[in-house]
Structure 1
Amino acid sequence: MPPRAFLLTSLSGRVLAKAAARAQRSVVGIDAFADQDTCGMALKWTRSPLDRNGIFDAAAMLDAADLVCPPAACLGLVYGSGLEAQPALLRELSEGRIVLGNSPEVLETVADPERFSSLLAALDIPHPATRLSRPAEVTGWLSKQAGACGGTHVRLASALPESDAGRYFQRQVAGEEWSFLFLANGRDICSIGFNQPLMTPPQASGRWSYAGATRMDAGPAGVDEAVMQAARALTARLGLVGLNGLDFIVTHSGWVLLELNPRPPATLELWDVPLLPCLFDLHVEACKGRLPARLPHPGSSMAVAVVYAETRLLIPTDFAWPSWCADLPWADSVIEAGDPVCTVRADGPDAATARHQALGRRQEIIQWLDRFASPATGWNDPAVAQSTQMFPA
């Protein structure tokens, strides 16, 4: 029998694996990429393919889970992104395993745009107009895939055909984008902190693809308390547990909630840092009903930025990744144009400095990889391979 361990599942599991490693927890995992650094932080890691709709192949995921972490060896199932649209898959994965996260029933509610919009209205939480049918006038409306995550699925309603199964429509809201990370125990919350997402770069395949985020000193003035109260209300009504996130927009007259992420969001890594307890442990404890009284702020800032491929790339065998890179693809991997290559991070005394440095590092990686893809140098030019050692730590 495999060694007893926590089972991690996510579209990209590196953030969860890193949090578990900091907490010195034994883990095995399944995601869609099985990147180099992710595999290095687990006892065993395997890749589960996505189907044509960009969601996990349920049969393959269940087979992989039984292989790497059968129920008798599972200390608990911790899931990240990717199961929002597949509550039935979560229900099957939970057979014989303890789920350390929100229930399939919570996912069903949150993934149903009509039910979730009605819930927000009942709780008096501001949110965009949402409808299942295509509006007669599509200007100013977005189309989203029910239960999807990451932003890649978001489209202008005017850019889609008349009928597109599984999608709903949401009024576009102008303003400043923010997110809020919190712990929940089914009744109340413990605030962790606020973040601001980075603008999606032109290289990304989707206009609203996740591009990274910056850890902020405080929430947006005038609405931060209202956002935290909304998190409390949703927790009490849905019984939310563990790490969760809210995505919202600050408008000229207030704020609007866009999404509830009922699982550990990608911004977890911005806060799982020295001066704070291990957030993986706090997630486990919160799922058991226990919250810390309060958490300190790290005092500085950190930003992460996703690097997207400008053109089709072949990752060089001798490429020396800087220490500030993560989600590292394997050598000889092919990355299609518009797909994520890796993530870069940067620390700074304030949000502006950290963000500026992360964006600079993102551009640096793009430029170096571009040299390998350039017809003038070829994929395996020794001079270029040697020069990759010049990255600063």
Structure 2
Amino acid sequence: MKLLLIGINIRHIACSACRAGHEVHVVDGYCDLDLESCALDMTLLSRDGLDGSNRAEELISEHIERVGPQAVVLGPGLEEARVKGVPVLNNPAEKAARISDKLWQARWLERNGFPFIRTVTSGEDLDFPVMIKPRRGAGGVGCRIAQSRSDLDWGEGLIAQEIVSGRAASVSVICDGKGARALATNEQLIGESWTGAKGFRYCGNITPLEPLPKSDIASMAERIVARLGLVGSNGVDFLLTEEGPVVVEVNCRFQGSLDTVECATGVNVFEAHLNSFRGLLPSRPAIQCTAGRAIIYAPRSAEIKERMLFPWTADVPRPGSIIGRDDPILSVMAKGSNRVEVISCLQDRAAMIRELTKGPAKII
């Protein structure tokens, strides 16, 4: 199938689609080195005015006219755009917009009897400290702890949540609008210092989750996405507490765990995603190995001077790219027979990349 994939960062989606045998045309905000091998052609996405839906939809229309695809896949930053004249392999824009609202999610989870985190639009009804988050957003960006009312600085689009302690996990799910099938449970890496991530920043995954919790979070995730009527690849994030799992959020889009899920299970996530639009769901796959991905963050602003394209790197920036302080440099991958082995390998590779970032003005 001739596909147009467009979004701020779609390397993982495009490479999965390429491995499934599709003709992939991409419009991406980074055009990383490893994306070249996955795409028939690659165009840099202009981010000017992307915050306005009209401009985003105009850009998508321009690229549809240029490429002439059989279908479009909208990636990060564009999942809520409305597209006309060609099939769109995403959840409907209206549904994506509604579900991306964390306040709406919390209320929906409560109404439907799922464990949720109490969420409000002010700190008045919660005991301090509280978690402050963007009402819309991903990757832990903008999350912080408010210790008291004096720490509150309410801006537009913020919510407050009670603080829940637990192990961060996710479930990758394929849904056809009625039924759902979990592909894998994953450990989430959050704010790991060895990656350079700060605060609550998402910095990777380990698949499968080890050890599995007593509660069947895979079945719970299936029930959630099926009841929401989602289609394609979706994810549910959890905190695994001493009292049981609590749902953090539902992500109605491809997840950052795609690479580790494919490596650990042997399933092509894009093909499973595509089949779901035809009403076909996969069987729950067996785990073949343990796989990990870690996102490495820059300790300082720098210019990329040389290629860092190794067999175990992904999202590799081009020489000449400027990486801002605390922004992602690239991802490192590893696989092995268990979590300890994979984490050790990821940490070694992260150390190699971070060693290359030393120096006041360059990364080599």
Q: Give the TM-score, by structure 1 length.
A: 0.84
- Paired residue type of 2:111: A
Shift of 1:101: 2.0
Structure 2 vs 1, CA of residues 67 and 104 (structure 1 numbering), >3 Å: closer, same or farther? closer
- Find the counterpart in structure 1 of residue 97 from structure 2: 108
Q: Residue 259 of structure 2 is aligned with which of 229, 250, 269?
A: 269
- Find the counterpart in structure 1 of residue 349 from structure 2: 361
- Find the counterpart in structure 1 of residue 62 from structure 2: 67
Structure 2 matches for 1:17-96, cutoff 5 A? 17-50=14-47, 56=51, 58-70=53-65, 73-83=68-78, 87=80, 90-91=81-82, 94-96=83-85
CA–CA separation in structure 1 for the residues paired with 2:188 and 2:37: 28
**1:346 match: secondary structure:** strand
Task: Indicate the larger mover: 68-77 or 163-172.
Answer: 68-77
Unaligned runs of 5+ in 1: 386-393
Shift of 1:275: 6.1
Q: Deviations over 1:191-232 (max 9, x none)?
A: 211111123244757511121111116662311x2x233323
Q: Residue 308 of structure 1 is aligned with which of 293, 297, 303?
A: 297
CA–CA separation in structure 2 for the residues paired with 1:330 and 1:72: 24
Say whether 1:179 aligns with 2:170.
Answer: yes
- Find the counterpart in structure 2 of residue 278 from structure 1: 268
Task: Determine if contact 2:73/2:88 at 8 Å carries over to the other structure.
Answer: yes
Task: Determine if contact 1:193/1:219 at 8 Å carries over to the other structure.
Answer: no
Shift of 1:328: 1.0
**2:132 match: secondary structure:** strand
Shift of 1:121: 1.1
Structure 2 vs 1, CA of residues 311 and 133 (structure 1 numbering), >3 Å: closer, same or farther? same
- Paired residue type of 1:171: E
Aligned length: 361
Task: Determine if contact 2:99/2:250 at 8 Å carries over to the other structure.
Answer: yes
Shift of 1:29: 2.1
- Find the counterpart in structure 2 of residue 237 from structure 1: 227
Task: Determine if contact 1:81/1:265 at 8 Å carries over to the other structure.
Answer: no
Structure 2 matches for 1:8-23, cutoff 5 A? 8-23=5-20
Say whether 1:193 aligns with 2:190.
Answer: no
**1:211 match: secondary structure:** strand
Structure 2 vs 1, CA of residues 209 and 274 (structure 1 numbering), >3 Å: closer, same or farther? closer
Task: Determine if contact 1:101/1:287 at 8 Å carries over to the other structure.
Answer: no
- Paired residue type of 2:39: A
Shift of 1:41: 1.6
Q: Deviations over 1:166-200 (max 9, x none)?
A: 11111111011111111111111112111111232
**RMSD across aligned C-alpha pairs, in angstroms?**
2.6
Q: Residue 207 of structure 1 is aligned with which of 199, 203, 206?
A: 199
Structure 2 vs 1, CA of residues 155 and 32 (structure 1 numbering), >3 Å: closer, same or farther? farther
CA–CA separation in structure 2 for the residues paired with 1:41 and 1:56: 27
- Find the counterpart in structure 2 of residue 390 from structure 1: none
Task: Determine if contact 1:152/1:206 at 8 Å carries over to the other structure.
Answer: no
Task: Indicate the larger mover: 25-34 or 136-145.
Answer: 136-145
- Find the counterpart in structure 2 of residue 388 from structure 1: none
- Find the counterpart in structure 1 of residue 140 from structure 2: 151
Structure 2 vs 1, CA of residues 156 and 165 (structure 1 numbering), >3 Å: closer, same or farther? same
Q: Deviations over 1:38-84 (max 9, x none)?
A: 244212223334469xx655455334323332398222222333346
- Paired residue type of 2:75: G
Q: Give the TM-score, by structure 2 length.
A: 0.90
Unaligned runs of 5+ in 2: none
Shift of 1:319: 3.8
